[in-house]
Structure 1
């Protein structure tokens, strides 16, 4: 990946709760950030026992958006219990955040949890990626922008790859090479670099609507077949290990 992780150690130091990790997600992780893209930071914080056992419960999710050095930063972290609860469900978002190679902050606990990720993969993750692709396609139909179109195919190809190989790969340019994806998408990635909300109509070599719909149907079918033939289990075999991880992390 060409994207370099910025030095955001000061951001980590400013957090009121300990962070297990913070990684970059979103368009930078997917391989098609625009020049004016914000930086999506995602991670896990740990609430102290007093904020879990007492009458005043700490925040399960913390969100903050601000501008630092001319770059808009969108930070979202979940408490370790909520994050691991999502991890043991068919939720591709948290898997991608946990395993993102764009690491801003890490700990030994982060590495332990990442090692458990393979035991959280299930064939039901196909439903997550199908639903995400459908949502982004509807947004593309409404806005006709390149961004949701790329998000649509990114979700479909990530889902197919995960179900076939048991590996999480959210980087669209790599997926296009490995899965022989639509040949017009690299050109659209280059076009999006010029603007976050650039319209498809402004791209000279844009694909025809019928081509887009045919490719969409093809990759939905590939995802369906990959889900039906996947060797991944229906339920996460590492559930108890993740449970133990939450308990030990909270106590320490």
Structure 2
């Protein structure tokens, strides 16, 4: 999937990542593309949503006033850089926030993964809470639906997709709660047991979005609108996983090992 990013843009993103690491004194664990380019439905003017995980030198975690656990830069030339300290990332993982799960599954990498990422994948597979993920996606989807306005007059293609993907993630979890839902829309569609009509309509919207600016409007197809509303209301049907103390204990071990080697 690396070919999805033009070579000149990739080179510039890698340069900026190097500059951020130098300025902040951080070591990258992961640097990926998030947003519509990684989700499988980019627009011609989509930003490059670069997301990363990092670890700081050990002494920073012992300071009375530790630095921020987020590093971010202003959007310049459609490149948006934003990253989390590994402590923040693990804390969100323990709360079953699906964002980290998506980052580690991104099909577009800007840097080689640190070996710890495979440990995070394995940890997430064993301990993620399906209902926690479903409620996370329901919140995201409802927030987008609330911004639609009058559906009959057309809906922003971006806002439509930003509600559809969470809805499909919930459907995926309802059908099989044993594994984390994939990040990419096309993979979600394969695992969601959708009708041929819905698949054709979504594929047509993907083609439309590839030619439409982010703010462009599209006719909201009733079948897709119904699917979105129905799935967002069924998040509570996804089974919950019982809390396990081993989750936080193993996350703590991963964190301490990283910090002690920094």
Common topology (TM > 0.5): yes
For 1:113, the equivalent position in structure 2 comes to: 120
Candidates 202, 217, 240, aligned match of 1:185: 202
For 2:218, the equivalent position in structure 1 comes to: 200
For 1:25, the equivalent position in structure 2 comes to: 34
Q: Structure 1-normalised TM-score?
A: 0.84
Candidates 98, 104, 108, aligned match of 1:98: 104
SS in 2 for 1:124: helix
CA shift in 2, pair 1:2/1:98, >3 Å:
closer
For 2:16, the equivalent position in structure 1 comes to: 11
- Name structure 1 gaps, 5 residues minimum: none
CA shift in 2, pair 1:120/1:139, >3 Å:
farther
Confirm whether residue 124 of structure 1 aligns to residue 158 of structure 2.
Answer: no
CA contact (8 A) 1:34 1:196 kept: yes
- Map 1:148-167 onto structure 2 (within 5 A): 148-162=159-173, 164=176, 165-167=178-180
For 1:172, the equivalent position in structure 2 comes to: 185
Candidates 138, 148, 163, aligned match of 1:140: 148
After TM superposition, which residue ranges in structure 1, 4 or more long, deviate above 6 angstroms?
none
Q: CA deviation at 1:193?
A: 1.4
In 2, the alpha carbon distance for the partners of 1:32 and 1:149 equals 11
Deviation string, structure 1 residues 59-111 (Cα, Å, up to 9, x no partner): 201111343xxx52111111111110001112111110122221212111223
Candidates 37, 46, 49, aligned match of 1:37: 46
In 2, the alpha carbon distance for the partners of 1:148 and 1:172 equals 14
CA contact (8 A) 2:138 2:233 kept: no
Candidates 57, 65, 78, aligned match of 2:74: 65
CA contact (8 A) 1:140 1:146 kept: no
Q: CA deviation at 1:42?
A: 1.1
- Name structure 2 gaps, 5 residues minimum: none
In 2, the alpha carbon distance for the partners of 1:176 and 1:49 equals 43
In 1, the alpha carbon distance for the partners of 2:61 and 2:191 equals 45
CA contact (8 A) 1:34 1:192 kept: yes
Alignment RMSD, CA only? 2.3
SS in 1 for 2:230: helix
Q: CA deviation at 1:134?
A: 0.5
CA contact (8 A) 2:74 2:81 kept: yes
SS in 2 for 1:74: strand
CA contact (8 A) 2:135 2:235 kept: no
How many matched pairs?
A: 239
